[in-house]
Amino acid sequence: MTYHEEHKSHRTGWLRAAVLGANDGIVSTASLIIGVAAANVSQEYILLTGLAGLVAGAMSMAAGEYVSVSSQADTERADLEQEQQSLNDDFEFEKIELAKIYQDRGLTQELSITVAEQLMAHDALAAHARDEIGIVENGRARPAQAAIFSGLSFTIGALLPLLVAWLSRPDLLIISVAISSLLFLALLGILAAHAGGASKLRGCLRVTFWGVLAMALTALVGSIFGIAV
């Protein structure tokens, strides 16, 4: 029976944006709700604050991802243009340069030159992009994709604690949002680890730890201002 390996690295672009967005949506909205609730304000005010945080956060995440990944895409594009110019100016030198990379990886000089010639005959720029610069098609920066996944996942993540706050009794709001949000974060960590082929336990513990820390600090700040008022 033939065994087919299923690699996960092609998912890193959208997975990173989706996990970051959902995690930030849960943590920031839950922390905001808990912090405001700890200041002893009305449930309506808490929900309005949470909703405002959802809208602002989703737009901020989408815009931030787009700008950040666009900068990465610009750098990649500039590197590829520079490499294409080098190929146009001195193709033979670029072949030797590529062969040297393969020699450093363990090929003999003769074989490395043969490999470099054949790869460059097929697609010279792609060969140099992959082996000299480290740019591969699966890992290319995609600003629009990152912005969409980040914004949507933030919205979904933020809706979860907001919905719990809406359904909770005022006296149980803080504990309900805190516990449910930690469960959401644990599930997110497990799903993200599964999608990326990583350790589910490590993924779960990582997100819940930072979630606990964020909610605890905002609750502390809210309670201090509540006492002051």
| 99/200 same-domain check | no
| 157/189 same-domain check | yes
Residue 164 belongs to domain spanning: 11-71+143-228
Which of the listed residues 94, 109, 139 is the one where a domain comes to its end? 139
Give the C-alpha distances (Å, rounded to integers) separating 124 from 40, 96, 109, 155, 217. 65, 12, 19, 43, 54
Asked whether residue 34 is domain-assigned, the answer is yes
- Which pair of structure tokens corresponds to residue 159? 């809706």
Which of the listed residues 121, 139, 157 is the one where a domain comes to its end? 139
> Hunting for tokens 């005959």 — which residue is that?
121
Contacts of 212 (CB under 8 A, 6+ apart): 182
| 148/60 same-domain check | yes
Which of the listed residues 123, 139, 155 is the one where a domain comes to its end? 139
What per-residue confidence (pLDDT) applies to 206? 78
| 67/179 same-domain check | yes
> Hunting for tokens 């990173």 — which residue is that?
16
> Hunting for tokens 């200041």 — which residue is that?
39
218 dihedral zone (left: phi>0; alpha: psi -120 to 50; beta): alpha
Asked whether residue 58 is domain-assigned, the answer is yes
Give CA–CA dist 48/15, Å, rounded: 30
Instruction: Tell me 38's DSSP state.
Output: T
Is pLDDT at 12 greater than 70 in this prediction?
no
pLDDT tens-digit map of 174-218: 899 989 988 888 888 787 777 666 777 877 787 788 778 877 887
Is pLDDT at 103 greater than 80 in this prediction?
yes
Asked whether residue 1 is domain-assigned, the answer is no
Give the lowest-confidence range in 1-10, 68-77, 135-144, 159-168.
1-10
**Model confidence, pTM:** 0.70
Q: Where are the strands (E) in 68-195, listed by range? A: none
Asked whether residue 195 is domain-assigned, the answer is yes
Asked whether residue 77 is domain-assigned, the answer is no
Q: Which amino acid is at 64?
A: G
Is pLDDT at 38 greater than 90 in this prediction?
no
| 169/125 same-domain check | no
Asked whether residue 5 is domain-assigned, the answer is no
Asked whether residue 56 is domain-assigned, the answer is yes
What per-residue confidence (pLDDT) applies to 225? 64
Asked whether residue 20 is domain-assigned, the answer is yes
| 111/221 same-domain check | no
- Which pair of structure tokens corresponds to residue 33? 């709700």
| 102/148 same-domain check | no
| 150/216 same-domain check | yes
| 60/153 same-domain check | yes
Three-state SS for 41? coil
Our count of domains for the chain comes to: 2
